Amino acid sequence: MATSLTTRSARRRALAAVVTAAVLIPLSACGGGGEKEEGGGASAGAEKNTRLTVLAAASLTDVFEEAGKAYEKEHPGVEVDFSFAGSQELAAQVKQGAPADALVTADTKTMDGLAAETGKPTVIAKNRLVIAVEEGNPKKVDSLKDLTDSDLKVVLAAEEVPVGRYGKQVLDAQKLTVKPVSQEVSVRAVLSKVELGEADAGLVYKTDAETVPDKVDAVDIPDAQNAVASYPAATLKGSENAEEAADFVKWLSSDEARVLLRKAGFQQP
């Protein structure tokens, strides 16, 4: 009986050795192949993909969507997501700790108020105000003074919104009192009111009026009566992609970005 048990035990050990060898050989081959790929072509497929979130003023919507595509084409592996809103809304998001990498506002005042949360800002473009009116200008609006007509439905942005603050600035300078039918949260909201026929006129940026030339006409405001809007861009200190965010902000001042901004009607900084 003892001889039989010994024989069986030996057979089991031999079988276990064969099975172990059968398992380890292909694993060893796989491990060797992985190391080879890591040093060769496989590493390219393992490149880090970065997704940047950029908070941007509503008036930058159209041009930034185009700029984002151009940037992504130049920087494979980086995707840029934009969140557009009034600058005051973006500032609130930053203060509440919203996860984002960079910020671009439509005024320096809002950016300066976020100095503790941002890197050093750089002005990337400038803009001016125009009076947006319905296509064909049926109400014959020719100047800022015309906005004081009580029969005219005028819509402005709220004063905490950069374009609203600029609007108040130019109206106050001319000693004009305008009673708007509504005060909106962004320049795009003002433009929409005029575009939909819910208002006869509104103060918007020149670049916004140019996005819907077949629906809205723009009445120019003389430079002496106008205000210049500056657009600063900065990285956010809470960014988890600090290097990539800094690169994007720097790119916004590049020749290619400036061409896109100028094409959209923005002025050079």
The fold of 127-228 is: D-Maltodextrin-Binding Protein; domain 2 (3.40.190)
Contact 118, 103 (CB under 8 A): yes
**Separation CA 157–CA 132 (nearest Å):** 13
Q: Do domains 50-126+231-263 and 127-228 have the same CATH topology?
A: yes
Question: Which residues are CB-neighbours of 103 under 8 A, at least 6 positions away?
Answer: 54, 55, 56, 90, 94, 111, 114, 118, 233, 234, 235, 236
Give the residue from 198, 265, 260, 205 showing the smallest Cα distance to 229.
205
End-to-end CA distance of the chain: 98
Rounded distance, CA 193 to CA 147, Å?
15
- Tell me which amino acid residue 204 is: V
Query: Domain spans of the chain?
Result: 50-126+231-263, 127-228
pLDDT in tens, the chain (269 residues): 444 434 444 444 444 444 344 433 343 434 443 333 343 333 344 456 999 999 999 999 999 999 999 999 999 999 999 999 999 999 999 999 999 999 999 999 999 999 999 999 999 999 999 999 999 999 999 999 999 999 999 999 999 999 999 999 999 999 999 999 999 999 999 999 999 999 999 999 999 999 999 999 999 999 999 999 999 999 999 999 999 999 999 999 999 999 999 999 999 99
Architecture of the domain made up of 50-126+231-263: 3-Layer(aba) Sandwich (3.40)
Give the largest CA-CA distance in the chain. Answer: 117
